[in-house]
Structure 1
Amino acid sequence: METFTHAGMVFDVTDIAPESGGETAETVVLLHGFPEDRHSWAAIAAELAAAGYRVLAPDLRGYSPGARPAARSAYALDRLAGDVLALADAAGVRTFHVAGHDWGASLAWQLAAVHPDRVESVAALSVPHPMAFARAMVTSSQALRSWYMLACQLPWIPEFVLSLRGGRMIGRGLVQAGLDRESADRYAARAADRHAMRGPVNWYRGLPFDMRRPMGRVRVPTLYVWGTGDSYIARDGAERTRAYVTGPYRFVALDGASHWLPECESGRIAPLLIEHLAAARTSAGDVHPAP
């Protein structure tokens, strides 16, 4: 499968067959963040396939050229979650594991909290549970680290600024935050087209719609990985996340790692994910009461 269609939109997707297991293999859905794309997961996806998992990695709403609605409300997390469920349906998958980074982590939290009947386990990279993040905004330096979220509420200006000098400004900022040059250059090339950046920036503009519906606790097996060198996410929110998970939970503070875990820490992340997926399989029969 190279594309799937949902709500009149066409999404690009990477679909990697497992090296073993065939039709009985479990499926892992990988969700990218801002300003990334599905290729940010390439190294990790290969390791998961080698370990016997089918891997689905889509270019999400706002990123796939055929899926760029203009309305801010189209980027609320419940709408975005619908895209992922539609992907699973198109792939013939009833239940799946989900892993997400950055905004993809927020979406993974949403899926796990609201659709535990579809999600077998969740792995969140960098971004904590949204309720833990909200608490950290008033108890730590998180608000200062997240100033850009407010700036992104403005119309057209963020896209214009990101496109300046052919996207080189955002590329330089990404490298300063720990991203490798090759990935930064690829994302900067997209940022040079301010029309292509409207969808990605709209994920931030959808935040007011998410704030109306506080997210519940997560009951499925959960792995949360945060880099101690993350420029965007403070430790406070990372450590508060435990309070919002009632199922099996593992928190890993990855020493010295930046925000960009899929691209720059694949060698450490892939084994953690594979271990997490195996542990989720052994706990599949556990029942965790609703909060």
Structure 2
Amino acid sequence: MLNRIDAGVLNVTYAESGDADGRAVVLLHGFPYDIRAYDDVSGLLAAAGCRVITPYLRGYGPTRFLSADTPRSGQQAALAHDLLALMDALAIPDAVLAGYDWGGRAACIVAALWPQRVRGLVSGGGYNVQDIAASVKPQAPENEWRYWYQYYFHGERGRAGLAQDRYAFCQLLWRLWSPNWRFDEETYRRSAAAFDNPDFVEVVIHSYRHRFGLAPGDPAYEHTESLLAAQPPISVPAVVLDGAGDGVSLSGDSAGHERFFSGPYQRRVVPVAGHNLPQEAAQDFAGAILALL
């Protein structure tokens, strides 16, 4: 069931399922995906008695900014504050947070800076807090090639390309990032509808420019960004998932991330699965969450 609620600077549309009095779990999607990535995971969690909340992030689906004056920021701190505001609006004092890509970043940040709000963390790809100061340092050529889309977005040609044909562009990323997943057109179409949000392009472009220090952030999040620059550790119980077939993040990228986690920590490699872990490996993703409950 879809619901709407004012939370911080957004009117957030979110799906809710399961027991309203159950243990709260918030599931957070990435780019370029949407809440449909969690259809199977949320069903498994609801069957286990959880209260499952799955929001559309800023710039996706029916979620909207409350004011035309709010910067259409896609920076990491904005995503984290959106998550906190949603938990506050729904009167959720603490929850297990689970996400990947952008959603994993929001979950990691809240776990690092507001651990009292987090009973456990499941993060696809490991420690997802961006080190913006180090972003100018080149990576291995293999990684640089995989991040072509990020560099494309740094120029106005990239903005125009995404705006001109976001459907085909994001479908290409699905194929490249999950080379072993044979999704059909209808599966993609259901999620691609979320990219028709009027703020999608601006939020995406800002995200991929801000993380490289190429665009200023929203002043409202300056203090949080200063805290994130120190790469704060995560103290809550955490399970990190790596897709062995991830086409954008090299398998094993998170192998050294245990240094960022000071609490109970597990790393699991999911065979065959690509970047869209919850949709490609729902049982594994749900199992990691249930292990924390």
TM-score of the superposed pair, with normalisation by structure 2:
0.80
Q: 1:166·1:189 contact (CA, 8 Å) conserved in 2?
A: no
Instruction: Measure how far apart 1:229 and its partner are.
Output: 0.9
Equivalent residue for 1:269, pick from 285, 288, 291: 285
Higher relative contact order (CA 8 A, sep 6+): 2
Deviations 1:18-66 (A, max 9, x none): 2xxx52x210111110011122111101111111110111111122441
- How many residues were matched structurally? 272
Decide whether the 8 Å contact of 2:277 with 2:285 is kept in 1: yes
Q: Distance in 1 between matches of 2:13 and 2:55?
A: 6
Q: Report the equivalent of 1:50.
A: 47
Measure the CA separation in 2 of the matches of 1:259 and 1:36.
Answer: 10
Does structure 2 retain, via aligned residues, the 8 Å contact 1:225–1:251? yes
> Which residue of structure 2 aligns with residue 87 of structure 1?
86
Question: Whole-Å Cα distance in 2 between the matches of residues 89 and 216 of structure 1?
Answer: 23
What residue in structure 2 maps to residue 154 of structure 1? 155
Distance 1:203 1:172 in 2: 19
Cα distance in 2 for partners of 1:84, 1:245 equals: 21
Q: Does residue 1:185 correspond to 2:189, yes or no? A: yes
Superposition deviation, residue 260 in structure 1 = 1.3
Q: Of 242, 253, 259, which residue of structure 1 is paired with 2:275?
A: 259
TM norm structure 1: 0.81
Q: Distance in 1 between matches of 2:109 and 2:56?
A: 18
Cα separation, 2, equivalents of 1:176 and 1:253 = 19
Q: Give the equivalent residue in structure 1 for 2:222.
A: none
- The reply on whether 1:235 has 2:261 as its aligned counterpart is no
Q: Which amino acid aligns with 1:160?
A: A
SS of residue in 1 equivalent to 2:283: helix
RMSD: 3.0
SS of 1:199 mapped into structure 2: helix
* Counterpart secondary structure, 2:96: strand
Equivalent residue of 1:219, what SS? coil
Structure 1 CA distance for aligned equivalents of residues 259 and 140 of structure 2: 15
Matched-pair contact (CA < 8 Å) for 1:171–1:187: no
Q: CA deviation at 1:123?
A: 0.4
The corresponding residue for 1:170 is: 170
Paired AA for residue 103 in structure 1: W
Q: Which moved more, 1:122-131 or 1:181-190?
A: 181-190
- Residues 1:70 and 1:40: Cα distance change in structure 2 (over 3 Å): farther
**Distance of 1:38 and 1:232 partners within structure 2:** 20
| AA aligned opposite 1:177 | W
CA contact (8 A) 1:226 1:254 kept: yes
Instruction: Identify the structure with the greater helix proportion.
Output: 1
Q: Could you say which residue in structure 1 is the equivalent of 2:238?
A: 222
CA drift of 1:104 comes to 0.7
Instruction: Label 1:95 to 1:252 Cα distance change in 2 as closer, same or farther (>3 A).
Output: same
Q: Partners of 1:27 and 1:263 in 2: how far apart?
A: 20
2: CA distance, partners of 1:26 / 1:137? 42
The answer (yes or no) to whether the contact 1:13–1:56 under 8 Å persists in 2 is yes
Contact 2:99/2:124 (8 A) holds in 1: yes
Is the counterpart of residue 204 in structure 1 residue 203 in structure 2? no
| Secondary structure class of the residue paired with 1:121 | strand
The structural deviation recorded for 1:191 is 4.8
Query: CA contact under 8 A between 2:131 and 2:229: conserved in structure 1?
Result: no
Letter in 2 for 1:256: V
Match of 1:10 in 2: 11
TM superposition shift of 1:236: 4.8
Partner of 1:287: none
Change (3 A) 1:237 1:184: same
**What amino acid maps onto 1:153 in structure 2?**
H
Query: What is the deviation of 1:217?
Result: 0.8
Shift of the alpha carbon at 1:222?
A: 0.4
Gaps of 5+ in 1: 279-291
- Counterpart position of 2:34: 37
Q: 1:176-223, CA deviations, whole angstroms, 9 ceiling, x for partnerless residues?
A: 432523333344455577864332333223323558724211000000
Change (3 A) 1:216 1:5: same
Query: Residues of 2 paired with 1:34 and 1:239: CA distance?
Result: 23
Task: Tell me the CA shift for residue 74 of structure 1.
Answer: 3.1
Change beyond 3 A, Cα 1:85–1:237: same
Identical amino acids, percent of aligned pairs: 24
Whole-Å separation in 2 of the counterparts to 1:35 and 1:41: 14
